[in-house]
Amino acid sequence: MKLRLPDSSTTVLFVGFQAEGTRGRALQDGKKEIKMFGEMVPVRAKIKTIDGFSAHADQQEILRWLGNFTRAPQKTFVVHGEFPASSALAELIGKKLRWNTEIPKNGQRVILA
């Protein structure tokens, strides 16, 4: 990637969601240079995205999977997705399964005992 991004004859094709704060999102957002391995890399490649592909389960699939647990965990940490989506999922888990949920802050440490 580091060698290809500066090349204007290169096309980078994304077929999945790129989360905020990632290099992939920076490329999708049109950044003209990104930091890779400690150095700034110019972006001259064409950046394209095909929407509609996802390797992620939707809320109902996640609820169905969690519903198969024989007992509820003490707490369920929702750590995937951007805040609006993770917040909605945490609320849904709490409402439908009556589980205790939390969305940890970025970098927050949690002691599991």
Structure token digits, residue 22: 């990632």
Q: What's the pTM? A: 0.56
Task: Give the pLDDT band of residue 15 (cuts 50, 70, 90).
Answer: confident
**93-101 long-range contacts, CB within 8 A, separation 24+:** 93/62, 93/63, 93/66, 96/63, 97/63, 97/66, 97/67, 97/72, 98/72, 99/66, 99/72, 99/73, 99/75, 100/72, 100/74, 100/75, 100/76, 101/75, 101/76, 101/77
* % pLDDT > 70, the chain: 96
**Rounded mean pLDDT, 6-34:** 92
